[in-house]
Amino acid sequence: MIHVRVGIAGYGVAGRIFHGGLLRQTPAAEVVAVVTRNPDRRAEVAADFPAAAVRDDLTGMLTDDRPDLVVLATPTRFHADLALECFASGVPVVVDKPMALDAEQAQQMVTAAEVAGVAFTLFQNRRWDSDFLTVRRLIAEHELGEVLRFESRFERWRPEPSPGRWREDLPPDEGGGSLLDLGSHLVDQAVQLLGPVHSVYAEVASRRGTAADDDVFLALTHLGDVHSHLSCGNLAGAPGPRMRVLGSGGAFVVHDLDGQEEALRTGRRVVTPVGRLCRGAEFTPVEPTPGDWASYYPAVFAAVESGSPMPVDPWDGVHTMEVLDAARASAASGSTVSL
């Protein structure tokens, strides 16, 4: 029976709600240590994982606790250095998205893991969203005909910045902003559905007076000349549908966000939005494929134990960062950037 001793570095929203929440649902997981210096978060660790040690830094955890797997849920600017420290110690790593600050840094991480012979993967949990899985199923079943355009959004109405949240306070070169945060999900999903990207046009702005960008639009052209239109940000007073896929045989639309995040945050049951297959004025509800974030860590543990491929290839993360780098260059120049 698989049993994996896990260490978590960072215990903010990502470490506690997402990773901690999913690890508590995974019988094979034993959280043996958490890295955080924040007194409030130390108290949360004691409540959530009473048997876990609390360390001041990653070095202490690697030395004193020697976990089988380290989850990096720190702010993005620390990902690369911490991952390299784990690889040097021979410890496999799950890194939260975004993988790194840019593509060069991401590639250095993957190369270092390969040289060290250490398992490495990226937490792209939204590959297991109900809406994404449903769209992938409809495409595979040819329900939409030839896909012409994929639209995907994480839009919300938050006109006032939330003080103390590093993603909303820091500039992009320190890991802040919607492009790195939600953009990494949007690009990853688009690439998984439609293949690699060869050109990018982007509009990226900061509208609320902070250093972090909060208004993002991306137009991607994938190999095969299929297009993705992706948007995210905090000033959408009338958010568009979560996903809309236009095809030669019809369209699929789903308006609301997958409910797994809300369930992790609140402890309530998962609510799965139902989309519609549309052909002009005709539409029919589509039975959704259930979301399954809970399958991520069992797949990671199986890979750590057997040496089989991880559920997310970290090189996918490198390509996502290449697209995000191109988006920033496009927004700065006002022109389309080729990869």
Q: Kindly state the percentage of the chain with pLDDT values over 90.
A: 96
- pLDDT of res. 306: 92
Task: State mean pLDDT over 63-69.
Answer: 97
Residues 6+ apart with CB under 8 A from 284: 276, 277
Write the pLDDT tens digit of every residue in 238-271.
Answer: 999 999 999 999 999 999 999 999 999 999 999 9
- pLDDT of res. 2: 87
What CA–CA distance (Å, rounded) separates 183 from 217?
A: 9
Task: State mean pLDDT over 199-222.
Answer: 96
What's the token pair of residue 187?
């690009």
pTM comes to 0.96
- pLDDT of res. 53: 98
Pick from 172, 146, 106: which is nearest to 318 by CA? 106
- pLDDT of res. 163: 79
What CA–CA distance (Å, rounded) separates 192 from 279?
A: 25
**For residue 302, pLDDT beyond 90:** yes
Task: State mean pLDDT over 269-278.
Answer: 96
**For residue 177, pLDDT beyond 90:** yes
- pLDDT of res. 337: 98
Q: In the CATH scheme, what is the code of domain 126-291?
A: 3.30.360.10
**For residue 165, pLDDT beyond 90:** no
**For residue 1, pLDDT beyond 80:** no
Band (162; pLDDT cuts 50, 70, 90): confident
Write the pLDDT tens digit of every residue in 43-60.
Answer: 999 999 999 999 999 999
Give domain limits for the chain.
4-123+295-313, 126-291
- pLDDT of res. 236: 94
Assigned CATH class of 4-123+295-313: alpha beta
Q: Are strands 275-279 and 250-254 parallel, antiparallel or unpaired?
A: antiparallel
